[in-house]
Amino acid sequence: METHTTGSAAAPLLQVDGITLAFGGVKALNGVGFAVQPGSITAVIGPNGAGKTSLFNTISGFYRPNQGRILFEGADISQVHAPQRAKLGLGRSFQNIALFRGMTVLDNIKLGRHAHLKTHVLDALFYLGRARREEAALRAEIEERIIDFLEIDHIRHAPVAALPYGLQKRVEMARALAMQPKVLMLDEPVAGMNREETEDMARFILDVRAEWGVTVLMVEHDMGMVMDLSDHVVVLNFGQVIAQGTPAQVQADPEVIRAYLGSGDVGDLRQRLHAGLQGAAAEGS
Ligand SMILES: Nc1ncnc2c1ncn2[C@@H]1O[C@H](COP(=O)(O)OP(=O)(O)OP(=O)(O)O)[C@@H](O)[C@H]1O
């Protein structure tokens, strides 16, 4: 798969700056910092319990950090609530699929748009007639583009609960895209998928960036996919960034190898890591 490089001179679209998050005495995140460049695919990896989900929840605004800031398009959004962050352009999927299982695929996608609906009373009063029809038409057009793009036309009227897991994950991505995010945050997009489903999802992630110009930030355990797709990889262990850089840089980093495989001879560990990074992730957890 082709790797896309981004200019290092561009201002970051998203910046995580010195984030510390504690649950009681446990520091889930400890001084975490990294930047997401516009147009990049950035992956956060790390053994189980490293802090990846806590980090995603902090960026989305579900958790308030004890220290540090989140900057989006240069503005400090640390005090902005989760729904407003979604409106600003931080769209996300969840590790455990968070769809309305009894509803159809299309209805789930339509709900993704609710972050953009006008809910203020005054807005609603003036939000009549032509403007309303135009927005409804525009929304329908976007939904159709997403359905077409993710190849889910044939299941648009199917209840989500009736779909195989891989397709449910695709519907979740569709719903996140319906929010027209600038950064699409994917929490373990290929977890539980078979090889074919994983390859499909990898292709969609690349196409989302290429065709929709969406920046991608993902948490993922599948190392093969992370290394194939990502421009920038951030490695967490025990709540701290232990390495970051290109896939080649982090794969060669002794700290990363130790985090995944435990202590031992780095040369030997590196060989094992290259032989089966994905198995190593499970082993290291
Ligand atoms: N709500 C919570 N309350 C208390 N401790 C928590 C909470 N959420 C996470 N933790 C702790 O914070 C640390 C980081 O957990 P987190 O779920 O962020 O890791 P992770 O890298 O996402 O793990 P996994 O790969 O298993 O999803 C762990 O020690 C975990 O036990």
Pocket test of ligand 1: the residue of 21, 52, 188 to mutate, having most ligand atoms within 8 Å of its CB, is 52
Cα–Cα distance for residue pair 116/234, rounded to 1 Å: 31
Three-class secondary structure of residue 51 per DSSP: coil
Q: Whose CA is nearest to atom 25 of ligand 1?
A: 48
CA of 47 to the centre of ligand 1 (A): 11
CA of 28 to the centre of ligand 1 (A): 6
Cα-trace Rg, the chain: 20
Give Cβ neighbours of residue 104 (< 8 Å, ≥ 6 apart): 156, 157, 158, 159, 160
Q: How high is the pLDDT of residue 1?
A: 39
Ligand 1 atom having least distance to the Cα of 236: 21
pLDDT digits (tens, 9 = 90+) for 17-64: 999 999 998 999 999 999 999 999 999 999 889 999 999 999 999 999
In sequence order, the β-bridge partners of residue 21 are 29
Q: Amino acid letter at 48?
A: N
Please, are residues 136 and 167 in contact by the beta-carbon 8 Å criterion? no
Pocket test of ligand 1: the residue of 16, 23, 222 to mutate, having most ligand atoms within 8 Å of its CB, is 23
Give Cβ neighbours of residue 70 (< 8 Å, ≥ 6 apart): 14, 15, 16, 17, 19, 58, 59, 76, 77, 78
Three-class secondary structure assignment of 231-250: CEEEEEECCEEEEEECHHHH
CA of 188 to the centre of ligand 1 (A): 14
Tokens of 188: 């373990």
ipTM above 0.85, yes or no: yes
CA of 53 to the centre of ligand 1 (A): 7
Q: How high is the pLDDT of residue 142?
A: 81
> Which CATH architecture best describes the domain 10-89+181-247?
3-Layer(aba) Sandwich (3.40)
Q: How high is the pLDDT of residue 109?
A: 85
Ligand 1 atom having least distance to the Cα of 53: 22
Q: Whose CA is nearest to atom 8 of ligand 1?
A: 54
pLDDT digits (tens, 9 = 90+) for 71-104: 999 999 999 999 899 889 998 876 666 677 788 8
Q: How high is the pLDDT of residue 205?
A: 95
Cα–Cα distance for residue pair 44/53, rounded to 1 Å: 10
Q: Which parts of the chain have pLDDT scores under 50?
A: 1-7, 117-122, 124, 278-285
Q: Pick from 95, 106, 68, 7: which is nearest to 239 by CA?
A: 68
Max distance between CA atoms of the chain, in angstroms, equals: 70
Let me know how long the chain is: 285
Please, are residues 44 and 64 in contact by the beta-carbon 8 Å criterion? no
Q: Is 49 in the pocket of ligand 1 (CB under 6 A)?
A: yes
Q: How high is the pLDDT of residue 260?
A: 79
Q: Which strands form 67-72's sheet, in the order they lie side by side?
A: 26-36, 14-23, 67-72, 75-76
Q: Is 50 in the pocket of ligand 1 (CB under 6 A)?
A: yes
Structural domain boundaries in the chain:
10-89+181-247, 101-179
CA distances from 125 to 84, 120, 121, 122, 131 (A): 22, 9, 6, 5, 12
CA of 26 to the centre of ligand 1 (A): 9
CA of 219 to the centre of ligand 1 (A): 13
Q: How high is the pLDDT of residue 130?
A: 58
Q: Is 237 in the pocket of ligand 1 (CB under 6 A)?
A: no
Tell the residue number behind the tokens 């078979």, with chain if given. 194
